[in-house]
Amino acid sequence: MTKRLFVKGNEAVAMAAIEAGCRYYFGYPITPQSDIPEYLSRELPKLNGEFIQAESEIASINMLLGASATGVRAMTSSSSPGISLKQEGISYMAGSELPGVIVNISRSGPGLGGIDASQADYFQSVKGGGHGGYHIIVLAPASVQEMYDLTMLAFDLADIYRMPTMILADSVVGQMKEALIANKRPVRDLPAKDWAVRGKGGGEQRVVKSLYLGDGELEAHNWKLHAKYQALKEQEVRWEEYETAGAELLVTAFGSTARIAKTAIMMAREAGLKVGLLRPITLFPFPEKALLEQTKTCKKVLVMELNAGQMVEDVRLSVARDAEVSFYGRPPGAGSLPTPEELLEQIRKHL
């Protein structure tokens, strides 16, 4: 019988990284993600890995860039203001086609904001938060088990597509304890890293770079990156559907908010209301087609977020012509999360 553990979401991320073969971690302390570096500072040395507490978020993302350039699996983690600092390096990694896992246990802003749970980093995560017009893969776990499973998946996707991959969660998912089945790393055919620097070793020179100055080179490079984003949309979209059969109102929410929305939907179904949930698990690539599919039978979509409206824009882009899209959200600051009752009231209002 598989052993069930009782761990924090942040710990699950760290455990999954190790199971995925990650032996290099570079980070900087920030609440509410510090359990991740704390765990890895303890465990990586036992595995002959390297843990560096860097001088800044900027340094840590660049250490990740350097380690990833050699072909090893490596990770960094932070929270919103720290992710802002990392965006420079993320853009360079995207431009240099480097894999690497970045965990964002986000907090509220703007500026120093606060440390309570927030989903206000949706834009800076899925829209290419740094300069230059790129995307990274963004996975949004909603449970401790998913923190584990999606972190392992993140390493695979990063390697397959040669792209930075982000885990976007918040303190609700990162700090809570739940049962976890720590699955073994799935066996998967991964492409050889024949681009990684290793010292020429008698072979051809290898260069990891994002500078393209030759006539037409950069345009060709950008189209190449764009083709990967299109391939992700075809091959890697993940989402969860809950009680969507016969729904007259489709709630769309991700991460922590989706958990609360699910409870609200259970209550709604008990009250005989025809409401379902579509929870994007990949925020990029976004489940555009899955949403559109739902609007064949359901003409009302209610987007719930812990911000003043971000993912709702992607929902509108996906289904605006086929369904009426409304939004309920709360930016952080009230010191509390929305209750299931509060969301149920919104469901009733929009049905």
Partner 1 sequence: MQQVFKRPTSLKDVQTHFCSGCHHGTIHRLVAEAIDKYGVQERTIGVASVGCSVFLYGYFDIDVVEAPHGRASAVATGVKRAKPENFVFTYQGDGDLAAIGTAEIIHAANRGEDITVFFVNNTTYGMTGGQMAPTTLVGQKTSTSPYGRNKAKDGAPVRMAELLAQLEGVAFSARVAVNSPKNLIDAKKQIQKAFQYQVEGKGFSFIEVLSACPTNWGMNPLAANERVGTEMIDYFKLGVFKNL
Q: Which residues contact 340 (CB under 8 A, 6 or more apart)?
A: 260, 263, 264, 267
Q: Least distance in Å: CB of 224 to partner 1?
A: 17
Going by DSSP bridges, is the β-strand pair 164-170/100-106 parallel, antiparallel, or unpaired? parallel
Map residue 74 onto helix, strand or coil.
Answer: strand
Q: Least distance in Å: CB of 208 to partner 1?
A: 5
User: Among residues 24 and 254, whose Cβ is nearest to partner 1?
Assistant: 24
Contacts with partner 1 by CB under 8 A lie at: 24, 26, 50, 52, 54-56, 58-60, 62-70, 72, 74, 88-89, 92, 96, 197-202, 205-211
User: Among residues 73 and 330, whose Cβ is nearest to partner 1?
Assistant: 73
198: alpha, beta or left? (left if phi > 0; alpha if psi -120 to 50): alpha
- The Cα 92–Cα 164 span in angstroms is 10
- The Cα 235–Cα 60 span in angstroms is 31
User: Among residues 208 and 250, whose Cβ is nearest to partner 1?
Assistant: 208
Q: Least distance in Å: CB of 228 to partner 1?
A: 20
User: Among residues 129 and 332, whose Cβ is nearest to partner 1?
Assistant: 129
Q: Least distance in Å: CB of 133 to partner 1?
A: 17
- The Cα 293–Cα 18 span in angstroms is 38
212: alpha, beta or left? (left if phi > 0; alpha if psi -120 to 50): beta
- The Cα 325–Cα 292 span in angstroms is 12
User: Among residues 50 and 322, whose Cβ is nearest to partner 1?
Assistant: 50
CB 141 within 8 A of CB 130: no
User: Among residues 69 and 302, whose Cβ is nearest to partner 1?
Assistant: 69
User: Among residues 91 and 244, whose Cβ is nearest to partner 1?
Assistant: 91
Map residue 283 onto helix, strand or coil.
Answer: strand
Pick from 94, 99, 176: which is nearest to 130 by CA?
94
Q: Which residues contact 312 (CB under 8 A, 6 or more apart)?
A: 303, 305, 325, 327, 329
Q: Least distance in Å: CB of 130 to partner 1?
A: 10
Q: Least distance in Å: CB of 10 to partner 1?
A: 23
- The Cα 295–Cα 325 span in angstroms is 11
Q: Least distance in Å: CB of 97 to partner 1?
A: 12
Q: Least distance in Å: CB of 72 to partner 1?
A: 5
User: Among residues 92 and 284, whose Cβ is nearest to partner 1?
Assistant: 92
CB 311 within 8 A of CB 289: no
CB 231 within 8 A of CB 92: no
